[in-house]
Amino acid sequence: MAYETIVVEIEEGIAILTLNRPAVLNALNDQVFNELADAASTLTADPSVRVVIITGGEKVFAAGADIGQMASATAVDVTTSDKPSHRAFQLIENMPKPVIAAIAGYALGGGCELTLVADVRIAADNAQFGLPEIKLGILPGAGGTQRLPRLIGSGRAKELIFSGDFIKAEEALRIGLVNKVVPADQLFDEAKKMAKRFAARGAVALRMAKSSVNEGLRMDLEAGLQYEHKCFSLLFATEDQKEGMKAFLEKRPAKFQGR
Ligand code: HXC
């Protein structure tokens, strides 16, 4: 996959998608969003890809949406419903396979919001998070006011959104914004280790489990429990369920085929 603002590499079933605009700290413009959307669709359709890692590389995750591009935008420009950021983030969030964000350096504004569409966030100990939009006279408009409160609670989310302050990786861990903090030089090894752990599981069960959590978060509890039950029942139609349980009873590791 040849892109200008991102790099996609696939290795042993794990796709690594790296933001690549170092001169502007990986600021996210429409080209980045469009390329992210294209890559997300392609990786979704590729059954050999089991897990996706999104990163900005060793120095910075992303310093937000491209302020240069936004500065002269009109309300009409911004209100178009198919805006590229929304499309890209939805495609990533709904990918039917695990997505891990591996975050070093700044993850600000739209960059922080991009980490929120991943399933799991691993931060380097030099990572910093923030939603500084309020200081620009706007608000976090790529899901920050919706996904962040769902992840860390509205009180903590509002503090970050209202202040625009940055927090360090350890604080992000304390408030549940990231799953794990690791020394910066171990970030990619840790992300790959986690990706391999996920990739060893059955692809259909992973897909249904992700869907059950994501869809359930959009429903009330009763509807969510019913949806979970449908996903659960469906898995009993898979070979992987038979294999997983047989392997347990035979005291051997399961060999999942993803069907
Ligand atoms: C465009 C950016 C940028 C951004 C940095 N740069 N962030 N360009 N959009 N979001 C550019 C700088 O202009 C500069 O270019 C180069 O990257 C290096 O940045 P510096 O500021 O010189 O680096 P430093 O002093 O280390 O400060 C790092 C920083 C700061 C604290 C991250 O760059 C910063 O505050 N950036 C903006 C963060 C922000 O407000 N993000 C939210 C954006 S709004 P030159 O050419 O001078 O070298 C948003 C809305 C999302 O994300 C919702 C809609 C989709």
- Which are the catalytic amino acids? 113, 133
Looking at the DSSP assignment, which residues form a beta bridge with residue 15? 10, 52
Strands 14-19 and 51-55: parallel
On whether residue 258 sits in a domain, the answer given is no
Ligand 1 near 114 CB (within 6 A): no
What ipTM did this prediction achieve? Answer: 0.98
How does pLDDT run across 123-150, given as a tens digit for each residue?
999 999 999 999 999 999 999 999 999 9
- My answer on whether 86 and 129 are in the same domain is yes
Q: Do 77 and 120 share a structural domain? A: yes
58 and 117 assigned to the same domain: yes
Whether 35 and 82 share a structural domain: yes
**pLDDT score of 44 more than 70:** yes
d(CA 207, CA 152): 24
* Residues 127 and 91 occupy one common structural domain: yes
Q: Which domain, by its residues, includes 188?
A: 6-199
Q: Does residue 171 sit in the same domain as residue 59?
A: yes
DSSP secondary structure code for residue 176 in this structure:
T
Same domain, 186 and 171: yes
Q: What is the CATH number of the domain that holds 228?
A: 1.10.12.10
> Is 80 a residue whose pLDDT tops 80?
no
At which residue do the structure tokens 């449908």 appear? Answer: 230
DSSP letter (8 states) at residue 65: B
Give the pLDDT of residue 255. 94
Residue 85 beta carbon below 6 angstroms from any ligand 1 atom: yes
Q: Say whether both 145 and 36 belong to one domain.
A: yes
Q: What is the pLDDT of residue 217?
A: 94
pLDDT in tens, 241-254: 999 999 999 999 99
Q: Does residue 157 form part of some domain?
A: yes
Give the C-alpha separation, 43 to 14, whole Å.
10
The H-or-E segment that residue 127 falls in is: none
Instruction: Say how far apart CA 20 and CA 204 lie, in whole Å.
Output: 32
**Is 55:188 a contact under the CB 8 Å cutoff?**
yes
- For 86-108, the pLDDT digits (tens) are 999 999 999 999 999 999 999 99
* CATH classification at residue 130: 3.90.226.10
- Nearest atom of ligand 1 to the alpha carbon of 113: 51
The CA-CA-CA angle for residues 40, 45, 48, to 5°, reads: 105
| 5, 19, 21, 24, best to mutate for ligand 1 pocket (most atoms within 8 Å of CB) | 24
Question: Looking at the structure, do residues 28 and 153 belong to the same domain, yes or no?
Answer: yes
Tell me, yes or no, whether 130 and 172 share the same domain: yes
Domain membership of residue 107 (yes or no) is yes
Taking the C-alpha atoms of residue 194 and residue 92, their distance in angstroms, rounded to an integer, is: 18
Cα Rg of the chain (Å, integer): 19
Judge whether 259 lies within some domain.
Answer: no
Give the chain's domain count.
2
What are the E-state strand segments in 188-253?
none
Cβ neighbours for 141, distance < 8 A, ≥ 6 positions apart: 78, 85, 133
Kindly state whether residue 71 falls inside one of the protein's structural domains.
Answer: yes
Are residues 131 and 223 both part of a single domain? no
Task: Tell me if 183 is assigned to some domain.
Answer: yes
Report CA torsion sign: 133, 137, 143, 148.
positive
Closest ligand 1 atom to 108 CA:
41
Domain assignment of residue 219, yes or no: yes
CA distance 160 to 165: 6
Q: Tell me if 1 is assigned to some domain.
A: no
- What pLDDT score was predicted for residue 82? 67
Three-state SS at 4: coil
Last residue of a domain, one of 199, 215, 237: 199
Domain boundary among 156, 182, 199: 199
